[in-house]
Amino acid sequence: MSSAPEKLTPMMQQYFEVKRGLPKDIILMFRLGDFYEMFHDDAATASKICGLTLTKRGETPMAGIPHHAADNYITKLLAAGKKIAICDQAEPAKAGKLVRRAVTRILSPGTTLAANQLDAQRNHYLCALTLDKAGLHAAWLDLSTGEFRVATDARPENLLPVLTALDPAELILIEGDLERWKTAPHDQSAIHALHAFCEPRLCTDLPGYHFETAEGLRTVTTILGVLNLQGFGLAHDHPALGPAGALVHYATENLCAKPENLRSLQEYRSARTLLLDPATLRNLEIFQSSRGTRDGSLLSAINRTGTAAGARLLERWLAAPTLDLAEIQRRSALVGELLADPLHLGELREWLDNVRDIPRILGRLQNRLRNPRELGGIRDTLSQLPAIRATLSAFGPNSQLSSLNSQLEELPSLLQLLTSALADALPNDLADGNYIRAGHCPELDRLRSLTTDNKTWLSDLERGEQERTGIRSLKIKFTNNFGYYIEITKANLHLVPPDYIRRQTTVNGERYVTEDLRTKEKEIFHAEENALAREQALFAALVAAVLDESIALARTADTLAELDVLAGWSVLAREWDYCQPVLDEGDTLEIIEGRHPVVEQMLKDPAVAAGRGTTSFVPNDTLLSSTDAQLALITGPNMAGKSTYIRQVALITLLAQVGCWTPAKTCRVGLVDRIFSRVGASDDLARGNSTFMVEMNETANILNNATDRSLIILDEIGRGTSTYDGLSIAWAVVEHLHRDPERGPRTLFATHYQELTQLEKHLARLRNFSVAVKEWNDEIVFVRRVIPGAADRSYGIQVARLAGLPITVIDRAKVILQKLESDDTSVELPSAATPKARPKKKITVTPEDNAQLNLL
C-alpha cells in the first residue's frame, strides 16, 4: 500500500486504522455515505478488475462504487481471486461527528455466501490441508450449506482424487508448506500431484498453531456444541482435526462471527469410494469438457435435475462414487420405480421444479444474511410438500419410495405462519419494507395507515397551495438529504406568499417550507420509522421460527435433493433408452450394445422431437474379467473410434456405480475400486514435463496403484517417443498388467503397434480386438464396430488423405511405406518424383453412410 500522506483527515485516520488491522492482500471497501470507497493500491487494483474510474483526492488515488450495486463489483473481484473487507457504518450519521465504522465481513472465494456470488448448481468448498510423515490430512467445508468433512490417508494419492473432484475455491495451508512439501518423506510423484492441485488455486497461509490437533479439537467441539466427537465416529486425536480447526477459525474471522450452520462433522474414507485420479477426471471429461466448460461433460449429459440442491448432490455423487453395493442397488431400484410410472413421475418433477434452495437459504439466515425473499423461498417450498408426499404415496405402500416419503416433514405450523405473515410479492432488501402481509399485525397496520393518511394530507396540501397561490406548477417533493419541501420555479417567485420560509436556491427556482409542512414531516418520519421498525421486528421473529425448525428443514431438503436426482435419472433413462445395470461383487464387466453417454447426445438428430433420442451412434459390446478376458488389446486406424469406445466403457462403469442407469442394452458390473485412464496428449511445460513425460507419469501412477478390482483404459502408450522405445514400453506395460498368473485389473488397451497383437499367443488373459473399417476404391469408411481379432494394418495414409494432405504427400508416403514394409534395407528409397496430375478427391463420411455400411 502506498505511504499515507503526512496530514490526514479524521476520516482517513479512521481508514488507515482499519486497514492496519487487515492482512495486506485484502481490498478494503470503506463506506462513505451511499458509496464504498477504496484508496491507494486497493483502488488501483479494483479499478483494473472492475473497470472503475481511478480518481484522486489530493494525492490519494481512490475509486468508489454505489453501495446498492456493490454485489456486482464484489463478484468480479472474487472471480479474480481477491479478498474484500466490508467496512460499514456502525452507527447513524450525526452532523459534526465522525461516524464509527467497523469491518462487518471479509469476503473470499471460499467463504462468500451471497446468492449472486455462488454458482447455484455447484458446491463451494473451502479446504485445509496438512502433510506429514503420517500422510495427507484434509478438511473441507461448504459454508453456504454447512457440509463439513475430514479425511486422512497415509497415501496422498488416495485423497487427491476426491479433492480434485470437489474443486475447492480456496485452500488454507500452513505458512511455508508448499516449499516444505518438496522435501516431505513421500513419493515424489505424490508430492508433484499435490503441488499441481494447489498451485492453480487461491491459497491462504495461516500460522501453524491454527493446525494443531488439540486446538482443532477444541475449536470443532465448540462450534458443534458437543463435549467430544464420539457421536460423529471420530477420535479426539484424529489427525485431520487440525485442518478442521483452521477452517473454522478462518471462517469465523471472515464472517466476523461464529458460523452458525455447522451441525455435524463427517469422515470421508477413500476405501469406501471408487477413486478417479485427476488425470482420469480430465481424460474422461467427468466435470468439464476438454474446452473447460460444463457442456460436453458427463455431468452435463446426465443432469436432469430441476433444483439447485439436486444438481449439487449429483456432483457430489460423481465426485465420490460409493462402493456400498446395497446403496448403489437402492438408487438404481428407485430410478426403476419412478421410470415405471411416467404419470406420477411427471407430477413429481413438476412439484420439485417449485422447490427452492433450502440448504443455502438456511446457511444465509443462520449467518446473518437475511432478506424477505429467503423466507419466501422457505414458504414456497413447504407449500409443495403435501403434493409431493401425495404423489410419492401413489407409487404404493410397498414402494421403496415410501422410505423417502417418510423423511419429508411438512411443518404445517411454520407454513401457516409464513403464509399469513409474508406478502405475496417480497422485496430483496429489508429497508424497502412492505413484506409483512396486511392484517397479520394490527399495530403495523395502524402505523401504515398513519403513513398513508399523511401522504394523503400532503397531496391535499399541494392542491390547496396551488389554488391559494395561483402557482399551478407548485410541487411538494422529498429528498433524503432535504426532507419535504415546496418547489417554486423562477417564473413564479413573485407569487410566493409571505409565510413561505426559503430553504434553498436551485438552478430552476427556490425551495420553501412552511410550519405546517415541518410539523407533518416529523409525523411522517416517525410513522415510517416506527412502521419499518415494527416490520423488522416481525421479520426477526419469523426468522427465529424458521431457524427453530432448521434441522427438520435441512433433513427435508436433503431428501428433496435425492428425489430430484433420481427423478432426473428416470427421465434420462426414458429419453435415451438406458438399461438397469446389474451390480455384484464378481469380477466380470459385460456390456451389450453400449454407447457413449455424451457423444450419443451430441449426435442426436436435431429434427427429432422430444422423447427417446435418435442418434447415429454405433453401439458395441464389451466383456472383461479379472480372471479370464482380463486385457482387451484394440487395434485399428485413427478416427475409427478406439478412444471413444474405451472411454464409453469407463463412463458406463462409473454411471452404474453411482446408481444411474446406463446407455446399453444390458450391463453387468462387478464392483470397481478405481478407474484409471491414460488417453490423449498433453504437456506440462511449466514444470519441465514434455508430452511423453506426462504420459509416463500417468502410466506409472496406474501401474503402481491399480488392483485386480480396478478398471484401466490405455490409449497409445509409448507413442510419444521413438518407434522401438515406444513399442518396448507398451509391450512391457501389457506384460506387467498380466503379470499375476491368476488375475489382474480389467484393461482396455488401444494401440497402433500391430506387433503387440502377437502377445495373444503368450498371455492367456489377453484378447485381440479391432475397429472394423470398410475399404472402397482405395478409400476407407469408418464403421465404428469393435470386432474380435487384430487389425490387418493401420490405414494411416488413408486417414491422412481424409484429413486433406496434399496428394503429392500421399503418393510419396505410399512409395515409402511399400519399401519399409518390404524390409528391403539394401535398396535406397527412391527420391520423390513429380506425380501425374490427378483430380483432388475429398471424401465426406456422414452418419447415414456409417449406418448403411453396417449392413454390408
Task: Find the mean pLDDT for residues 456-477.
Answer: 91
One-character DSSP codes across 766-789: EEEEEEEEEEETTEEEEEEEEEES
pLDDT value at residue 834: 40
Sign, CA dihedral 849-850-852-856, equals positive
CB atoms within 10 A of CB 623: 15
In degrees rounded to 5, what are phi and psi of residue 131? -135, 125
Whether pLDDT at 754 is above 90: no
791: confidence class by pLDDT, cuts 50, 70, 90: confident
Whether pLDDT at 853 is above 50: no
Sign, CA dihedral 802-807-809-814, equals positive
Whether pLDDT at 724 is above 80: no
The rounded distance, in Å, linking the Cα atoms of 245 and 148 is 11
- Contact indicator for 574, 341 with CB cutoff of 8 Å: no
Task: Find the mean pLDDT for residues 182-197.
Answer: 82
Q: Which residues contact 654 (CB under 8 A, 6 or more apart)?
A: 274, 276, 284, 286, 298, 318, 321, 675
Name the nearest CA neighbour of 286 among 709, 677, 691: 677
Task: Find the mean pLDDT for residues 792-812.
Answer: 70
- Contact indicator for 137, 130 with CB cutoff of 8 Å: yes
> Going along 175-222, which residue ranges are E strands?
202-206
CB atoms within 10 A of CB 331: 20
- Contact indicator for 250, 111 with CB cutoff of 8 Å: yes
Task: Find the mean pLDDT for residues 579-588.
Answer: 96
Query: 639: annotated binding-site residue?
Result: yes
- Contact indicator for 447, 458 with CB cutoff of 8 Å: no
- Contact indicator for 109, 130 with CB cutoff of 8 Å: no
Task: Find the mean pLDDT for residues 409-421.
Answer: 96
Between 829 and 477, the higher pLDDT residue: 477
pLDDT value at residue 526: 79
Mean pLDDT of the chain: 87
Query: 640: annotated binding-site residue?
Result: yes
Task: Find the mean pLDDT for residues 377-403.
Answer: 94
pLDDT value at residue 777: 66
What stretch of H or E contains 800? Answer: helix 796-803
> Going along 401-520, which residue ranges are E strands?
475-479, 483-489, 501-505, 509-513
Q: Which residues contact 214 (CB under 8 A, 6 or more apart)?
A: none
Whether pLDDT at 1 is above 80: no
Residue % of the chain over a pLDDT of 70: 89
2: confidence class by pLDDT, cuts 50, 70, 90: very low
Query: 796: annotated binding-site residue?
Result: no
Task: Find the mean pLDDT for residues 579-602.
Answer: 96
If you ran DSSP here, which 8-state letter would residue 56 be given? E
Query: 176: annotated binding-site residue?
Result: no
The SS3 assignment for 584 reads strand
What stretch of H or E contains 35? Answer: strand 35-39
Q: What is the pLDDT of residues 249-304, one digit of tens each?
A: 999 999 999 999 999 999 999 889 999 988 899 999 999 998 888 999 999 999 99
The model's pTM: 0.84
Q: What is the pLDDT of residues 496-547, one digit of tens each?
A: 999 999 988 888 899 999 988 888 888 777 787 888 999 999 999 999 999 9
- Contact indicator for 310, 561 with CB cutoff of 8 Å: yes
The rounded distance, in Å, linking the Cα atoms of 242 and 681 is 39
Whether pLDDT at 812 is above 80: no
pLDDT value at residue 528: 79
Q: How distant, in Å, are the alpha carbons of 241, 805, 811, 854 from that of 802?
A: 59, 8, 14, 20
Domains of the chain and any CATH numbers = 10-107 (3.40.1170.10), 120-272 (3.30.420.110), 303-411+549-576 (1.10.1420.10), 442-543 (1.10.1420.10), 582-794 (3.40.50.300)
What single-letter amino acid sits at 670? G
- Contact indicator for 659, 328 with CB cutoff of 8 Å: yes
Between 389 and 432, the higher pLDDT residue: 389
Count of residues in the chain: 856
Whether pLDDT at 183 is above 60: yes
839: confidence class by pLDDT, cuts 50, 70, 90: very low
In degrees rounded to 5, what are phi and psi of residue 205? -95, 140
Whether pLDDT at 666 is above 90: yes
The SS3 assignment for 186 reads coil
480: confidence class by pLDDT, cuts 50, 70, 90: low
Sign, CA dihedral 260-263-268-272, equals negative
671: confidence class by pLDDT, cuts 50, 70, 90: very high
If you ran DSSP here, which 8-state letter would residue 440 be given? S
- Contact indicator for 598, 679 with CB cutoff of 8 Å: no
Task: Find the mean pLDDT for residues 22-51.
Answer: 92
Integer-rounded Cα radius of gyration of the chain: 34
Query: 643: annotated binding-site residue?
Result: yes
The rounded distance, in Å, linking the Cα atoms of 822 and 830 is 14
The rounded distance, in Å, linking the Cα atoms of 181 and 193 is 11
Q: What is the pLDDT of residues 319-356, one digit of tens each?
A: 999 999 999 999 999 999 999 999 999 999 999 999 99
The C-alpha cell that represents 813 in the structure block? 508416403
Task: Find the mean pLDDT for residues 124-143.
Answer: 95
Q: Is 803 exposed, middle or buried (0-12, 13-18, 19+ CB in 10 A)?
A: exposed
Query: 449: annotated binding-site residue?
Result: no
Strand-pair category, 60-66 with 55-57: antiparallel
What stretch of H or E contains 227? Answer: none
One-character DSSP codes across 62-104: EEEEEGGGHHHHHHHHHHTT-EEEEEEESS---TTSPPPEEEE
The SS3 assignment for 373 reads helix
Task: Find the mean pLDDT for residues 150-157.
Answer: 92
pLDDT value at residue 825: 46
Task: Find the mean pLDDT for residues 771-788.
Answer: 77
Lowest-pLDDT range of 371-380, 386-395, 519-528, 831-840: 831-840
Residue % of the chain over a pLDDT of 90: 63
